[in-house]
Amino acid sequence: EAESMQFIYDFEEGRRTDKGLLGGKGANLAEMTHLGLPVPPGFTITTECCMTYLADESFFDTQLKSSIMNAVHKLENKTHKSFTNTIDPLLVSVRSGAKFSMPGMMDTILNLGLNDQRVQAFAQTTSLAFAYDCYRRLLQMYGDVVFGIPKEEFYDLLSNAEQALAKKTDSFTLREQEEVIQSYKEKFFSRNLVFPQDPYEQLFEATKAVFRSWNNQRANVYRELNHIPHNLGTAVNVQSMVFGNSGDQSGTGVVFTRNPATGEGHLFGEFLLNAQGEDVVAGIRTPAPIAELKEQMPTAYADFVHYAKVLEDHYKDMQDIEFTIENEHLYILQTRDGKRTAKAALTIALDLVKEGIISKETALNRVSPEMIDQLIHPVFDSNALKDAELVAAGLPASPGAATGVIVFTAEAAKDFSNMGQKVILVRQETSPEDIEGMIVSEAIVTSRGGMTSHAAVVARGMGTCCITGCEALTVDEQNKQVKCGELLFTEGDIFSVDGTSGKIFLGEIPTVIAENNEELKQLLTWADEVAQLNVRANAETVLDLTTAMDFGATGIGLARTEHMFFGAERVLEMRRLILADSDKEAQDALERLLTFQEEDFYQMYQIVQDKPMVIRLLDPPMHEFLPHEPNDIRQLALKLGKSPLLVEEQIRRLQEANPMLGHRGCRLGITMPTIYQMQVRAIFKSVIRLQKEGQTILPEVMIPLIAEKEELLYIKQFLTSTIEQVFAQEGIEPLPYELGTMIELPRACFIADELAKEADFFSFGTNDLTQMTYGFSRDDIGKFINTYTEKGIMQSDPFQHLDQNGVGSLIRVAVEKARQTKPEMCIGVCGEVGGDPDSIRFFAEIGVDYVSCSPFRIPAARLAVAQAAI
Ligand code: PEP
Ligand code: MG
Q: Verify whether residue 826 is a known catalytic residue.
A: no
Give pLDDT tens digits for 126-140.
889 999 999 999 999
Identify the residue whose C-alpha is closest to ligand 1 atom 4: 765
Mean pLDDT, rounded, for 74-94? 95
Give pLDDT tens digits for 200-229.
999 999 999 999 999 988 899 889 888 899
Of the residues 466, 666, 830, 853, which is catalytic?
Answer: 830
Give pLDDT tens digits for 383-441.
888 889 999 998 888 878 999 999 999 999 999 999 989 999 999 988 877 888 999 99
Determine the pLDDT at residue 817: 98
Identify the residue whose C-alpha is closest to ligand 1 atom 9: 560
C-alpha 743 to ligand 1 mean position (Å): 10
Index of the ligand 1 atom closest to the CA of residue 764: 3
Model confidence band, residue 343 (pLDDT cutoffs 50, 70, 90): confident
Whether residue 106 has pLDDT greater than 80: no
How many Cα atoms are found within 13 Å in the side-chain-facing hemisphere of 714? 14
Question: What is the spatial distance between Cα 307 and Cα 318, in angstroms, rounded to a whole number?
Answer: 13
How many Cα atoms are found within 13 Å in the side-chain-facing hemisphere of 676? 30
Identify the residue whose C-alpha is closest to ligand 1 atom 3: 765
- 502, containing H or E segment: none
Whether residue 83 has pLDDT greater than 90: yes
Index of the ligand 1 atom closest to the CA of residue 771: 2
Identify the residue whose C-alpha is closest to ligand 1 atom 1: 765
Closest ligand to residue 799's CA: 1
Closest ligand to residue 798's CA: 1
Question: What is the spatial distance between Cα 747 and Cα 742, in angstroms, rounded to a whole number?
Answer: 12
**Helix/strand/coil percentages in the chain, nearest 5:** 50, 15, 30
Question: What is the spatial distance between Cα 272 and Cα 251, in angstroms, rounded to a whole number?
Answer: 6
C-alpha 830 to ligand 2 mean position (Å): 9
Closest ligand to residue 835's CA: 1
Determine the pLDDT at residue 246: 85
Index of the ligand 1 atom closest to the CA of residue 766: 3
User: How does the average pLDDT of the chain come out, rounded?
Assistant: 93
Give pLDDT tens digits for 222-264.
898 888 999 999 999 999 999 998 888 999 999 999 999 889 9
C-alpha 588 to ligand 1 mean position (Å): 30
Q: Which amino acid is at 232?
A: L
Whether residue 775 has pLDDT greater than 80: yes
Mean pLDDT, rounded, for 272-281? 78
Question: What is the spatial distance between Cα 104 and Cα 431, in angstroms, rounded to a whole number?
Answer: 9
Note the residue count of the chain.
Answer: 870
Contact 407, 426 (CB under 8 A): yes
Question: What is the spatial distance between Cα 121 and Cα 117, in angstroms, rounded to a whole number?
Answer: 7
Cβ neighbours of residue 758 closer than 8 Å, sequence gap 6 or more:
709, 712, 713, 716, 741
Q: Verify whether residue 830 is a known catalytic residue.
A: yes
Question: What is the spatial distance between Cα 248 and Cα 272, in angstroms, rounded to a whole number?
Answer: 10
Q: What is the 3-state secondary structure (H, E, C) of 60-118?
A: HHHHHHHHHHHHHHHHHHHHCCECCCCCCECCEEEEEEECCCCCCCCCEEEEECCCCCH
Model confidence band, residue 103 (pLDDT cutoffs 50, 70, 90): confident
Closest ligand to residue 624's CA: 1
C-alpha 558 to ligand 1 mean position (Å): 9
Closest ligand to residue 770's CA: 1
Index of the ligand 1 atom closest to the CA of residue 831: 3
Identify the residue whose C-alpha is closest to ligand 1 atom 8: 767
Sorted by where each starts, the structural domains of the chain and their CATH numbers stand as: 2-240 (3.30.1490.20), 251-337 (3.30.470.20), 377-513 (3.50.30.10), 531-621+656-869 (3.20.20.60)
Which of 614, 742, 762 should be mutated for ligand 1, with most atoms under 8 A from CB?
742
Helical spans, DSSP H, in 581-700: 583-608, 630-640, 644-654, 666-671, 673-692
Give one DSSP letter per residue of 738-764, joined into a string.
EEEEEE-SHHHHHTHHHHHHH-SEEEE
C-alpha 831 to ligand 1 mean position (Å): 5
Q: At what angle do helices 837-846 and 807-821 cross, to 10 degrees?
A: 30
Determine the pLDDT at residue 515: 55
Residues of the chain above pLDDT 90, percent: 79
Index of the ligand 1 atom closest to the CA of residue 767: 3
Model confidence band, residue 513 (pLDDT cutoffs 50, 70, 90): low
Determine the pLDDT at residue 2: 46
Give pLDDT tens digits for 671-703.
999 999 999 999 999 999 999 999 999 999 999
Whether residue 34 has pLDDT greater than 90: yes
C-alpha 115 to ligand 2 mean position (Å): 72
Index of the ligand 1 atom closest to the CA of residue 830: 5
Helix, strand, or coil (residue 45): strand
Of the residues 49, 454, 470, 749, which is catalytic?
Answer: 454
Residues in the ligand 1 pocket, defined by CB under 6 Å: 558, 560, 619, 744, 765-768, 830-831
Kindly give the pairing relationship between strand 268-273 and strand 251-256. antiparallel
Identify the residue whose C-alpha is closest to ligand 1 atom 6: 765
Index of the ligand 1 atom closest to the CA of residue 560: 9
Give pLDDT tens digits for 732-745.
999 999 999 999 99
Kindly give the pairing relationship between strand 826-829 and strand 850-853. parallel
* Least confident span in 62-66, 266-270, 413-417, 783-787: 783-787
Ion ligand 2 nearby residues (CB, 5 A): 744, 765, 768
Which of 538, 566, 618, 619 should be mutated for ligand 1, with most atoms under 8 A from CB?
619
Closest ligand to residue 764's CA: 1
Determine the pLDDT at residue 790: 82
Determine the pLDDT at residue 1: 43
C-alpha 636 to ligand 2 mean position (Å): 29
CA 736 from centre of chain: 45
Give pLDDT tens digits for 839-849.
999 999 999 99
Question: What is the spatial distance between Cα 16 and Cα 29, in angstroms, rounded to a whole number?
Answer: 8
C-alpha 567 to ligand 1 mean position (Å): 21
Mean pLDDT, rounded, for 656-668? 94
Mean pLDDT, rounded, for 140-144? 95
Determine the pLDDT at residue 48: 97
Give pLDDT tens digits for 565-619.
877 888 999 999 999 999 999 999 999 999 999 999 999 999 999 999 999 999 9
Q: Which amino acid is at 110?
A: L
C-alpha 239 to ligand 2 mean position (Å): 61
Mean pLDDT, rounded, for 14-19? 94
Give pLDDT tens digits for 35-59.
999 999 999 999 999 999 999 999 9
Question: What is the spatial distance between Cα 255 and Cα 335, in angstroms, rounded to a whole number?
Answer: 10
C-alpha 615 to ligand 1 mean position (Å): 13
